[in-house]
A and B are shown apart, each in its own frame.
Chain A
């Protein structure tokens, strides 16, 4: 059986490429939810030896929130804003995919240099964590709609969480819960802001928000 972590890492790469190359908002939301599920499973598998309450609680809570509650919030925001369900990027999807492959190559190189420090067997996970963060940043920068920017932020958070997992960093329960709560409230507030934006402007294209400038 190939290392389960390796399979999860490859699935994570495919989810990221899906996020970069898909033109439908629903698919992008599902891709980010899939990232959260994969990371929850990876958290459980990586700590296979020492499964205690803390690990289980964090893995289950983060999966439920990031793969259940947050996509639901975003879907509700899209539905109530009545926005067009297409992504509308600045650079085309083909170009996005190719940039994604370039980023993956760069992350592979960086990951190869950093992997001696990583926990046992998570060399690929480290690469994928960096790739996920980079994908999140790329999505924020190259997409127009406010919802995709929130998705990019979520992908960044997922990538950073995976990075912590790759190095087997054990943050105290309070801090983990605090981070999770912060992300949840952040997406909640962003969802409300998106609703307000769509009501005020009749669109949710952030590149058309240009009233304030010098």
Chain B
């Protein structure tokens, strides 16, 4: 089963690279592989598969959660992408400077999307920290061509920044892995698998373990988008096609967070949970602060969503760092954020196609121009900003309650303050886009006509709404177990 989870996207990816014509076959391959992957993941919820490869690949509650989010979001994105690729004209005019540009070959795009899914699956499935590292670096390499889909100079600049910053960060994480190996040197026969390390946690050298956590936090934190290592995030998310942005924000950042959580769990088992928790909380607050500052008066609405991702990654880190009830809240928040952010990015793609501009000031009267996307956009904003009845309100409230329960009042106050600032800043921009009259703006509503453009975001939005209204019992227990596996209980 686990092998299938890995092999299906990989095989589909290579097949897509080989399938130059017909394009229709390639476009059905993408949602088909995504649907198969989601079906397999759903089966894993029912019957947990056994670990394979000498215990290196396996699923526990936490990785199953992340895998499900990834798989579900990829399915929605795949359906959207199929219609998107059908609609995209081969040569386009760049709306910012009027130059002509082309897109990368579609075969490469579809192949890289599927390989991206395969590498993210590898990250969630691996129980060996070295293999996890290989998977995270592989996600960087698989997603770099995706960012450079629209071949103009700004996306190239974003791709270069993404490649270099993430590669350097992940190299630091490799150094952290080696520190971990040195920490385990004292005891004989300690492999870097999660089970082994947890079992021998007491025998690990604390100084080396702390150094390892620091490097791994900075390294995987670069990939996750924690400030001050987040500088690649706004550029990459704003220049990539919206499908890719949705996947980057909703799936990739979670996978990087998974890496950090594994080490955090190890620190907890070794008795250094307070050290790692404080570091995580610090980085979380810093990310929220930086994001809030840059959301104020943000001109580009896709960059706005990117900074919102930084903020929510900060919330996740804060929740994990505080621990206790907040840890479970962080798990719920992971689910909610991925769904809401994916929805928003897909809608942003619609807006971009219709209004041909990325500047928020030049978009007005969304509710009138796009009768479905407009209201969904406002709903998505309400969701991501954390207002009821959407799911993020619940998860943010749980994190707040957890922080207060743990006695971290200062952290809770900072958290609330920054949430408020971000809410206000984002509201101003988004609502100005939605309301008003679209008179005098050149729009092209045909570009996003079709079920493919609205059904996936609608489905994601409905899921967030459902999670906000009621949290089913099986999901709550799954989240609690995941939090326990992440060492944040």
Judge whether A175 and B182 touch: CB under 8 Å.
Answer: no
* A179 and B156 form a contact (CB under 8 A): no
> In this assembly, does A140 line the interface, its C-beta being within 8 Å of a C-beta of chain B?
yes
How many A residues have CB within 8 A of the partner chain? Answer: 36
Is the CB of B61 closer than 8 A to any CB of chain A? no
Name B175's contact: one of A117, A163, A178 (CB within 8 Å): A163
What 18 additional pairs, Cβ within 8 angstroms, besides A157-B171, A179-B133?
Answer: A137-B168, A140-B164, A153-B164, A153-B167, A164-B181, A167-B181, A169-B181, A174-B56, A179-B130, A179-B174, A181-B134, A189-B144, A189-B163, A190-B167, A193-B144, A193-B156, A201-B153, A212-B154
- A contact residues around B163 at 8 Å (CB): 186, 189-190, 193
- 0/1 string, B270-309, CB within 8 A of A gives 1: 0000000000000000000000001000100001000000
Measured between C-beta atoms, what is the minimum distance from B263 to chain A in Å?
16
For residue A178, which residues in chain B have a CB less than 8 angstroms away from its CB?
Answer: 130-131, 134
> Is B134 a contact partner of A167 (Cβ separation < 8 A)?
no
- In the complex the two chains form, is B154's CB within 8 Å of A211's CB? yes
Nearest CB of B to A171, in Å: 6
Please give the distance in Å from A42's CB to the nearest CB on chain B.
Answer: 16
Contacts of A49 in B (CB 8 A): none
Residues of A near B158 (CB, < 8 A) are 212
List the A side residues contacting B181 at CB < 8 Å: 164, 167, 169, 171
- Tell me the B residues contacting A by CB distance below 8 Å: 56, 128, 130-131, 133-134, 137-138, 140-141, 144-145, 148, 151-154, 156-161, 163-164, 167-168, 171, 174-175, 178, 181-182, 185, 191-192, 208, 234-235, 238-239, 294, 298, 303
Chain A residues with Cβ below 8 Å from B161 are: 209, 212
> Which residue of B154, B157, B239 has the most chain A CB atoms within 10 A of its CB atom?
B157
Main SS class of interface, B: helix
Interchain Cβ contacts within 8 Å, total number? 107
Q: Are B154 and A185 in contact, with the CB atoms below 8 A?
A: no
Most chain B CB within a 10 A radius of its CB, from A146, A149, A153, A178: A178
Q: Please, how many angstroms separate the alpha-carbon atoms of A157 and B56 in the complex?
A: 24
A183 to B137, CA, bound (A): 9
Residues from chain A with Cβ under 8 Å of B157 in the complex: 209, 211-212
CA distance A137 to B172 in the complex (A): 10
User: Closest chain B residue to A171 by CB distance?
Assistant: B130
- Find A182's partner among B128, B134, B152, B168 (CB 8 Å cutoff): B134
Closest B residue to A163 by CB, please name it: B178
- Which residue on chain B has the smallest CB distance to residue A196? B156
Interface centre among B145, B158, B161, B181 (most CB of A within 10 A): B181
Is A133 an interface residue, CB under 8 A from the partner? yes
A–B Cβ pairs within 8 angstroms, 18 of them? A117-B208, A140-B164, A153-B164, A160-B174, A160-B175, A172-B128, A174-B56, A178-B131, A179-B174, A182-B141, A186-B141, A190-B167, A197-B156, A201-B156, A209-B157, A212-B154, A212-B238, A214-B294
